[in-house]
Each structure stands twice: as structure tokens, then as C-alpha cells.
Structure 1
Amino acid sequence: MVDMMHRARILAYSGTFIALIAAGSWISIPLPPVPLTLQTLFVLLSGIVMKRYGAIPVALYVLLGAAGLPVYHNGTAGLGVLLGPTGGFLIGFIPAALVAGIAYEHESPASRITGLIAACAIYLLAGAVWLSYSASIPLLQAVLLGVAPFIIGDAVKAAAAYAIGKRVA
């Protein structure tokens, strides 16, 4: 019985977080080549709320967008987006949610904060590496274009996710 309840909760939360991540993608400030969105807030929250299972809705979100549902930033979709300059960030969301979730399986605030920082570093690193490759630019230039402008915003979103997590997790 407990197993069925756990599965039902994972299913319900997965649908909710897929919708929230997709909605967060519409709240966007277009910065070339990578827009600033609220997706990352909901990716982190999926890990906070669902623990290690938070990677499930994020992976499904990425798959739904790759399959053609317009869930990526500003309603974009398809494999072209994953192969474009923002694809590394999207793929990096999956291990980021997993890391945040594993960190939230521990009670220690230090572990949780470290996990959120590591999660942000994961998707930023994945995004920078893929941006460098897909745009054929040096890694340093990719970091300057795809990471540096987002550090403050991601710190604010991580802090917001931590504050929300104190109430819901």
C-alpha cells in the first residue's frame, strides 16, 4: 500500500513539475545566445520536493520538448533546440535535479545548500561546454556568454528554491 502511494505521489508531482518547468520557460528575458528563464527555479524545486526522483519530471520535460511539444523557452521545441546553443543547459537540468534531490535527502542545511550550488554548477557547466561545441567558440567565450550573465540570477533562484523548500519539503 505504501509503495502504491509513493508511486502515485511521484506521478502527481511529476505532472506538476513538468507543467511548472514549462510555464517557467515562458517567463523569459531574451539574452543572446541563452535566454534567462525561471525553468531553473522549478528544476531545483523538483529535486527539493521529490528528492532523487526529481530527475524524473525534468527528464520527461526534456523528452517532451525533444518530441516536439512547445515546452522550451518561448514555446520552442524539437531536437534542433537540444542541438542548438541552449541544449547543454536543458540536458544539464537532469543531473542537476538529481544532485539537488540527493542533497535534500539529508537533513543538514549545509548539505542542502551545497547540493543547490552543485546543481547550479552542473547545468551551467553542461551549458557552457555544449555552447562552446555547438557554436564553435572557445570555452572561455562560452563561459562569458552562457554562464557569467546568469550567476547572480541563478543565485537568487537557488536562494528562493531553498526558502520555498523550507516550507514545502
Structure 2
Amino acid sequence: MKHRAQILAYSGTFIALIAAGSWISIPLPPVPLTLQTLFVLLAGVVMQRYAVIPVGLYVLLGAANLPVFHNGTAGLGVLLGPTGGFLLGFIPAALVAGLAYEHESPKIRVAGLIAATCTIYLFGVVWLAWSASISLLQAVLIGVAPFIIGDAVKAAAAFAIGKRVA
């Protein structure tokens, strides 16, 4: 029973953190730089495979018109817009990071954070290219290249925080 209560408490906390991270935003067209990905990765670090629960609920809440996406946006229109793939990619990314954190090896954990970030990129780039009718290369240049350094810092921060809390 304690395990369920812990999952519930962590889920509420990470939904709130991801939503708060969406407000910390640097507007870059068409995909803003936010702290959402830090908290998605951190959910995987702390909750392991159960991180899909808060991350999936976060996306569902946004789809249900609660203003939890970047800068208070919400609705299916956001998920169907150019940033939708990145948001949907949060769900499998949380699972990837979480499964990596079920291992004790720091190498596997780092690889998991990198793979989780790449999962977000994969979903985001494919959707961005399709929804904006641009090539995959253009989608990578717009939706990945400007964010690589920031996302590397966020992954390193998640790893460092994970050494303290996980």
C-alpha cells in the first residue's frame, strides 16, 4: 500500500513540476525552450518505470484543455500543432529514462537519459516535419539543433540530482 501512495504522491508532484517547467520558457520558433524535459527526465530518475504515469497524465491534462503546456497553452490543437510530437515523446522518454534507472550502472543511467532525450527528439522531429510539411533535415535544424546544448545540460542536471535523491 505504501508503494501505491508513493506513486500517487510522486505523480502529483511531477505533474506540477512539468507544468511549472512549461512556464519557464525561452520562445524559439516553432519549439520553445522549456524546463519540461528536465522534469520528465527527473520523473524517470525518481519513479523509474512508473514515470509514465505522471507524464502521461500531464499530456492528458493538457489535451483536456488544462493550461499546462508551454506558456499556458492547452488542448488538442497544441498536440496537433508543430510541438505536439515533442510533447507526446515525453511519455516514451519517461519510460526509457525510468527503465535505465532500474539498473545500478551509472553508464546505463547516463545512456538512458541520452536515449530518453533522443526519443523526445525523434517523436518531435517526425511530427514537426509532417505537420509543417518540411523535410526531416529542416525539422532537425529547427527542432533539435538549437536545443542540443540546453538538453545536454538538463540531462546532466537530472543525473546529478538523481545521485542525491534516487
> What range is the shorter-chain TM-score in?
over 0.9
Aligned to 1:13, the other structure's residue is in SS state helix
User: How many Å separate the matches in 1 of 2:53 and 2:140?
Assistant: 28
Deviation beyond 2 Å, 4+ runs, structure 1: none
What do you get for the CA RMSD once the two structures are aligned?
Answer: 0.3
The residue type equivalent to 1:67 in the other structure is A
The alpha-carbon deviation at position 39 of structure 1 amounts to 0.1
The alpha-carbon deviation at position 142 of structure 1 amounts to 0.4
User: How many Å separate the matches in 2 of 1:81 and 1:164?
Assistant: 30
Q: Any unmatched runs of 5+ in structure 1? A: none
Equivalent residue for 2:87, pick from 90, 93, 112 = 90
Instruction: Name the residue aligned to 1:112.
Output: 109
The alpha-carbon deviation at position 30 of structure 1 amounts to 0.2
The answer to whether the aligner puts 1:135 opposite 2:129 as a matched pair is: no
Instruction: Name the residue aligned to 1:62.
Output: 59
User: How many Å separate the matches in 1 of 2:89 and 2:114?
Assistant: 14
User: How many Å separate the matches in 1 of 2:46 and 2:120?
Assistant: 19
Instruction: Name the residue aligned to 1:71.
Output: 68
Task: State TM-score, norm by structure 2.
Answer: 1.00
The answer to whether the aligner puts 1:101 opposite 2:98 as a matched pair is: yes
Instruction: Name the residue aligned to 1:167.
Output: 164
**CA deviation digits over 1:24-80, x for unaligned, max 9?**
000000000000000000000000000000111000000000000000000000000
The residue type equivalent to 1:72 in the other structure is F
User: How many Å separate the matches in 1 of 2:82 and 2:133?
Assistant: 10
The residue type equivalent to 2:87 in the other structure is L
**CA deviation digits over 1:61-112, x for unaligned, max 9?**
0000000000000000000000000000000000000000000000000000
Aligned residues: 166
Task: State TM-score, norm by structure 1.
Answer: 0.98
